[in-house]
Amino acid sequence: MPFISAQEYLSYRYDVLNEPALLPLPDELFTALWKEAAGEDALQFLSDTFKLPVDRFPLLQPDAIKIYFASTSGGRIPVISTGCHDDFCYMEALLDGRSESRELPLTINAFTMEAKAPQLHNSRLILLGNAPYSNVPGSALGLDEADWLCRSTALRLAHECTHYETLRLWGSMQNHALDEIAADVMGQLAAFGSFSAQRQRLFFGLENEGKSCTGRLTFYCRKVLPWERTEVYQAVDRALDIVEAKVAELCQEKASDFIILTNIICDNILKGYGGKHAD
């Protein structure tokens, strides 16, 4: 895998045009394949409609698997939710057309994915697991675990819907810190009604003003030269406070979700916070 510099990483941005005349966009054609799924027995639907080998994997909570549609500014998209992390891993393999599941980190419980199983005709869908968001315990947020699990579901779904929106509206969906900040902004707004820089530091695993990182942000920076990754962590850490103030201002103005999203993802919020800083 070729590495890039921290400055190259931090210069990444979206070029966003004006708001489309019609939002939401029309549904993609593949959604018609899923029109009968909502409310049905999910595994039976996948077996009968798409002939997927649902018995291939030892699902732990088969009755917890549900299928429904999420509405986004990019159109509707099918959602498959699972009851636990193991079943999330099993379903990811099934939808991807693999015979074996892969071990995914506990911090990862959601994908906006293009299903590779040939029976699914390259359907794009959201796959969700039921777990605390970013594997952060509710106690770290001052919440009981039941409340936090409910908020985690709302946050995770809004996060993935945002990825789908950037793909449909602007043709890109990346595992990049900028995309992840934008998606978590919309997720936090859905789950809490506000965006908190400190919550985001917990979700990213940022510590000591970005001098160290032990969470999922490390995954999004894996293409950066190893000795320059701390520069990215610190840039993200500094940008989060600016994002918090900007989102609060936009919410006060009752800005639409589209306006909030474009203000985060098109403003190149990270570039101005790069560069080496003395400790």
pLDDT in tens, 45-99: 999 999 999 999 999 999 999 999 999 999 999 999 999 999 999 999 999 999 9
Check if the beta carbon of residue 264 is closer than 8 Å to that of residue 243: yes
User: Does some domain include residue 276?
Assistant: no
Averaged confidence pLDDT in the chain: 92
pLDDT in tens, 198-226: 999 999 999 999 999 999 999 999 999 99
What is the model's pTM? Answer: 0.94
Domain with 193, as residue range(s), is: 6-271
**Both tokens of residue 220?**
């999004």
Dump pLDDT digits (tens) for 219-248.
999 999 999 999 999 999 999 999 999 999
Q: How many domains does the chain fold into?
A: 1
Look up tokens 């999330």; give the residue.
Answer: 88
Sorted by sequence, the CB contacts under 8 Å of residue 199 that are 6+ apart come out as 141, 188, 192
Residue 50 lies in a domain: yes
Residue 273 has pLDDT above 80, yes or no: no
Q: Which long-range contacts (CB under 8 A, 24 or more apart) does 38-44 make?
A: 38/67, 38/68, 38/69, 39/68, 40/67, 42/66, 42/67, 42/80
**Rounded Cα–Cα distance for residues 218 and 167 (Å):** 23
- Note whether residue 1 is domain-resident: no
Closest to 179 measured CA to CA, from 249, 268, 257: 268
Q: Is residue 189 part of a domain?
A: yes
* CA distances (Å), origin 31, targets 65, 67, 120, 185, 215: 19, 12, 11, 27, 34
Q: What percent of the chain stands above pLDDT 90?
A: 84
Query: pLDDT tier at 276 (50, 70, 90 boundaries)?
Result: very low
Reported as a pLDDT band with limits 50, 70 and 90, residue 278 is very low
The single-letter code of the amino acid at 129 is G
Output the CA angle 7-220-121, nearest 5 degrees. 125
Interval 117-146: pLDDT, tens: 999 988 999 999 999 999 999 999 999 999
Helix (H) or strand (E) holding 75: strand 75-81
Strand ranges for 41-189 from DSSP E: 66-72, 75-81, 110-114, 124-128
For residue 48, the number of C-alpha atoms closer than 13 Å in the C-beta half-sphere is 9
d(C-alpha 126, C-alpha 110), whole Å:
7
* Residue-level pLDDT at 274: 53
The tokens of 124 are what?
A: 């794009």
Amino acid letter for position 30 = F
In the block, residue with structure tokens 């390259």 = 122
Distance CA(162)–CA(172), nearest Å, equals: 11
The answer to whether residue 278 is domain-embedded is: no
Give 100-117 pLDDT, tens digit per residue.
999 988 888 999 999 999
- Residue 275: what pLDDT? 47
Residue 204 inside a domain? The answer is yes
The span from the CA of 221 to the CA of 205, in Å, is 13
Q: With respect to residue 133, please indicate whether it lies within any of the assigned structural domains.
A: yes
Give a yes or no: residue 165 inside a domain.
yes
Average pLDDT of span 252-268: 90
Tell me: pLDDT of 277 over 70: no
